[in-house]
Structure 1
């Protein structure tokens, strides 16, 4: 089995708000998707390629695939660390995530998202990543070429 190349890493923390928990006082499973988006937005902003910039460059980046594995529940007030590993940049944006308790390091969830560039003008999926995206990701301080 080949080890995945990691182009760069990024981390973000979120504190679980009361309105994200269910009657059992644990984070409702659908809210993990929101935490991934919050972390992904922070990463994109760190490279100057947030959703506004994507639009200015003429591209949308919809999620085309998502996978989540719940290991342990997160709870109200808990601070979660979301560690991201960007593992594909040439034909899509694929990010692997590990969500952990910030204090203990206990693993809570593993996830992966895949986004594809879509031309806002034509609506066509781009099977090669736009150069503007590659320039942006190469600016991240942890970037490592394959």
Structure 2
């Protein structure tokens, strides 16, 4: 049985800031990836496991909305949700909260597909990797994106 994902805790690094001590906008996409990789590990499918099975998961689109500024010294929790899972594609939603105040700081999303590395073609996990498919499908059911 899959448990709900508790979120990814992140303390911004000084080098990620601009001259005002605010996290530069380009870093949020990297944070989303860190959280997504952490989620895969939480689900028992570290990224290298997918790659070893001949599956790559490229990003086909990404989006980010900045609600409040995050500063060096803040600590954030990045929650990851599945917006949609079809077996050939998976879309994630991200919500970044201040870990102390619970204030919503940033939201975002990323869209992905599953590629059979050997053929370099879109693949259905339901057919080519049913164990992965089952995990993703169960996670999508227990931790869907919350309504706005």
Alignment of 1:1-146 (within 5 A): 9-90=5-86, 91-126=88-123, 128-129=124-125, 130-137=129-136, 143-144=141-142
Listed as ranges, the gaps of 5+ residues in structure 1 are 1-7
Q: What is the TM-score with the length of structure 1 in the denominator?
A: 0.84
After TM superposition, what 4+ stretches of structure 1 lie above 3 angstroms from structure 2?
142-146
RMSD: 2.2
- The separation in 2 between residues aligned to 1:111 and 1:70, in whole angstroms, is 9
Which secondary structure state, in structure 2, belongs to the residue aligned with residue 82 of structure 1?
strand
Q: What is the TM-score with the length of structure 2 in the denominator?
A: 0.83
Aligned length: 137
| CA displacement, residues 75-128 of structure 1 (integer Å, 9 cap, x when unaligned) | 1011011111112222312111111111111111110111100111011122x3
* Distance verdict in 2 for CA 1:85–1:137, change over 3 Å: same
Listed as ranges, the gaps of 5+ residues in structure 2 are none
Contact 2:8 2:38 in 1 (8 A): yes
More relative contact order, 1 or 2 (CA 8 Å, 6+ apart): 1
